[in-house]
Amino acid sequence: ADFLPRAVQNVVAAAEQLRTLAGVQRLVLGGWRFGATLAVLAAEAMAARNHGPAALVLMAPVINGRGYLRELRALTAFYEPGQSPDAASSSQLPQPLQAASPADDGMEVLSYRLSAEAVREIGALRLDRRPGCPAPNVLLLDDAPGSMSAVAALKRHYEQAGAQVDVREFFDSRL
């Protein structure tokens, strides 16, 4: 299980390199979709070493990993309908929309291969269930505002942890 830890370590290393090369102490980490999620995880790692970012800018962050994997499967099915795995499943759903089973060998997303390990790690992510907030200031850009907004729930979670949180609407380019 090292897909996410490796990705997070790369972000942390880049942040430390920036601090060293630019001579800055205060950083803002940001990202879009899964990159925003990685920014949160990196901020947690940095905060654990008392070197957290001053703020986070999270554009349409992936809050629920299982939901994100469903989105990726649907996106792949839309753009590459002929790439569906074996249709011999007993499920009523098309194969790309089914949840990955623990025994499978990962998943292909628009010609990019995610290992089974990566699928499991992503699927286990829930930003709204992680302890605290890794930055004192957070800008959340919500691509699905409204009463069912996952970003609104993350805002409440971070505010309960003492962070200053601002939410703005954000309409990204996803279909």
6 Cβ contact partners less than 8 Å away, ≥ 6 residues apart: none
98-119 tens-digit pLDDT: 444 444 578 988 888 999 999 9
User: What pLDDT, on the 0 to 100 scale, is given for residue 10?
Assistant: 97
Record the pTM. Answer: 0.83
65-74 tens-digit pLDDT: 999 999 999 9
78-100 tens-digit pLDDT: 887 765 544 334 344 445 444 44
User: What pLDDT, on the 0 to 100 scale, is given for residue 65?
Assistant: 96
Q: What percent of the chain has pLDDT over 90?
A: 69
For residue 154, give both structure tokens. 């993350």
Nearest to 76 by CA among 41, 102, 112: 112
Q: Is there a contact between 26 and 107 (Cβ–Cβ < 8 Å)?
A: no
The pLDDT of 135-158, averaged and rounded, is 93
For residue 152, give both structure tokens. 């609104």
Distance of CA 38 to CAs 9, 12, 98, 164, Å?
Answer: 10, 10, 25, 20
Nearest to 54 by CA among 96, 82, 26: 26
